[in-house]
A = this chain, B = another copy of it.
Amino acid sequence: MKRTEIGVALLGFGNVGSGTYRALEENFALIEKKVGAKVVIKKILVRRLDAARRIDVPAELLTTNFEEILKDPKIDIVAELMGGINPATGFIKAALTAGKHVVTANKAALALSLPEFNKTAAFHHAMLRYEASVCGAIPVIGCISRALTGNRITSVKGIVNGTTNYILTRMAAEGASYEDVLKDAQALGFAEADPTGDVEGYDAANKLSVLIAAAFGVYRAPDSFERVGITGVTMDDLAAAESEGKVIKLLACAEEKDGQIEAYVKPVTVEKDSFLGRCGSEFNAVQIDCNMAGPIFLQGKGAGPEPTGSAVMGDIIEIAQAIVNGTEHAQPVTALM
């Protein structure tokens, strides 16, 4: 019997969770048309029922009990949007094992457990998608693993962390010190109270690990390649770059050389007038080099509730379409080869 409704659970209701909720609410009729069934959020897992929320949702959707979601046969798709490694990793594995399809925006969990997630998904014939985990709204995973699939990818490089790009852009524009801009960025909400994950390059390294799997079909743990953050970038470094028409960007790069993947996250001096050099604080940018298509350049919003939420919804729609078409158990997961 043709499905008329696809049930979704959101795990987490912070920025990305609420952005996903908004993206579905705003485009509900359009999404119903595309899927051929209603896509409905059935449950939202939160830590506390009485916490303040970015947006209002019906109280009956909220639960603090993951088991309730796992056992609900009306929930087809679990969207893990909590971030962090625990308990997210366990939730993803449990959902896949229960035969639920999983969408996640969680680069930390993916970077740590992608091979295991892929195996679990394949074993249980569940779909696993994670476009939102890298560069928010920019469809970089989809471009690499689908549109450019007729190519051998030779390198991927990009600006994949908004916080550090914001800090470096302002340091360069204002001749301000790292410490001063960081304080300001924290006050404005562009950097977290503990900025380590961003400024030391951990977030970018996690994203690069996910990108490497998509582009080269191999898993590289984020601690297996060079990772340098931006805390050592001085005003003198930026002034020296500026005097040569250049600018310093925190780049995440992976390149195939003689069958090996060379990868790093570190501050790199690039031409101010180049595609990556021109990518300002609000945006992320990725350059994909291919053996047939040549270079492909993608730019867009790398973060923010609605941009990231719309990427989550893109994955949910793909899975929902597969369920309606009865092909959900025959979809290849993004393969490690």
Contacts and interface: CB of A to CB of B under 8 A. Distances in A.
Contact of A142 (B19, B31, B146, B317): B146
A300 interface: yes
A61 interface: no
Interface string A11-25: 000000001001110
A296 B300 contact: yes
A183 interface: no
Contacts of A327: 325, 327, 330-331
Interface string A282-317: 000000001111111111110010110111111011
B150 A23 contact: yes
Nearest to A305: B292
A137 interface: yes
A331 B293 CA distance: 26
Contacts of A90: none
Contact of A300 (B30, B217, B297, B306): B297
B150 A139 contact: no
B295 A300 contact: yes
Identify the interface centre among A150, A297, A298: most chain B CB within 10 Å of its CB: A150
Given A150-B311, A331-B325, A296 B293 contact: no
A114 B235 CA distance: 56
Interface string A137-151: 111001100111111
B33 A337 contact: yes
Given A27-B151, A147-B139, A321 B332 contact: yes
B299 A296 contact: yes
Given A293-B307, A296-B138, A309-B292, A314 B26 contact: no
Contacts of A310: 148, 150-151, 290, 292-293
Nearest to A34: B149
Given A299-B275, A300-B295, A326-B330, A148 B152 contact: no
Shortest Cβ-Cβ A-B pairs, 5 listed = A139-B147, A150-B313, A292-B310, A137-B293, A142-B147
Interface of A: 19, 22-24, 26-27, 30-31, 33-34, 131, 136-139, 142-143, 146-152, 217, 275, 290-301, 304, 306-307, 309-314, 316-318, 321, 325-327, 330-332, 335, 337
Given A147-B314, A321-B332, A327-B330, 9 more contacts: A27-B292, A147-B311, A149-B314, A149-B318, A150-B317, A290-B310, A293-B300, A294-B304, A325-B331
